[in-house]
Amino acid sequence: MTDRRAEPQPVAAPIWKRDFPYEAAAEEEVTRREFARFLVAGAGALALGNVGLAAWTQLRTINEGEPRAIVDAATVEVGSTYLFRYPTDADPAVLLRISDSDVVAFSQKCTHLGCVVYYEADEHRWHCPCHEGNFEAETGEVISGPPLRPLGRIDVEIRDDGMIWALGRSAA
């Protein structure tokens, strides 16, 4: 004698499957445990990436630049700017002559998303047109807008030979 209750009952296919009997070759069900495993594996990969990024941040050396002459100070009037590249040709920079004896220089890359900043003489500030970020003209500190960090500063000085020299890049 057989037990009818133990026999598996055939499950009727849903109507939509009868109407659209399409099945992908790799179609299969994923249990919630498998799904959670995928998530945890992804979290592990991201954690590993974060550790790697931290190690890279710790170990890399940033080119701070070598001292070199930039431009003849006589050609840069007080209140005007001069564009140059420092420490490499891939690093746009800009200097501002504040007075006869004072000059400041910054990386031209906005610390928000890397757009090029320019000097607004009327407001006496550096302005990023991409997202309306503003930086203090003489220190590079953030005045307003989305940037959180000041502009990268480049140490410059006017030497006795009349040239403006870049001495190196400071930490932002």
Partner 1 sequence: MRVSERGRRSSSAVLIYVIILMAMQVFLVTVAAEAFLADEAGLAWATAIVSVVLFAAAASFLRYLRP
Out of 2, 9, 31, 99, name the contact with partner 1 by CB under 8 A: 31
Say how far apart CA 150 and CA 50 lie, in whole Å. 24
159: number of CA atoms within 13 Å, CB side?
14
Out of 17, 44, 64, 85, name the contact with partner 1 by CB under 8 A: 44
Choices 48-56, 66-74, 85-93, 124-132; region in contact with partner 1 by CB under 8 A: 48-56
Q: How far is the CB of 40 from partner 1 (least distance, A)?
A: 5
Phi, psi torsion values for 45, nearest 5 degrees: -65, -40
Choices 39-47, 69-77, 88-96, 153-161; region in contact with partner 1 by CB under 8 A: 39-47
Phi, psi torsion values for 70, nearest 5 degrees: -105, -55
Reduced to 3 states (helix: H, G, I; strand: E, B; else coil), residue 20 is coil
x/- track of binding to partner 1 for residues 110-129 (CB under 8 A):
-x------------------
Find the helix or strand (DSSP H, E) in which 155 lies: strand 153-158
Residues 6+ apart with CB under 8 A from 16: none
Out of 2, 9, 58, 88, name the contact with partner 1 by CB under 8 A: 58
Cβ nearer to partner 1, comparing 37 with 68: 37
Structure-token match 């890359």, residue found: 109
Choices 2-10, 56-64, 117-125, 133-141; region in contact with partner 1 by CB under 8 A: 56-64
CA 53-54-55 angle, 5° bins: 90
Which residues make up the interface to partner 1 (CB under 8 A)? 31-33, 35-37, 39-40, 42-44, 46-47, 49-51, 53-54, 56-58, 62, 111, 149, 171-172
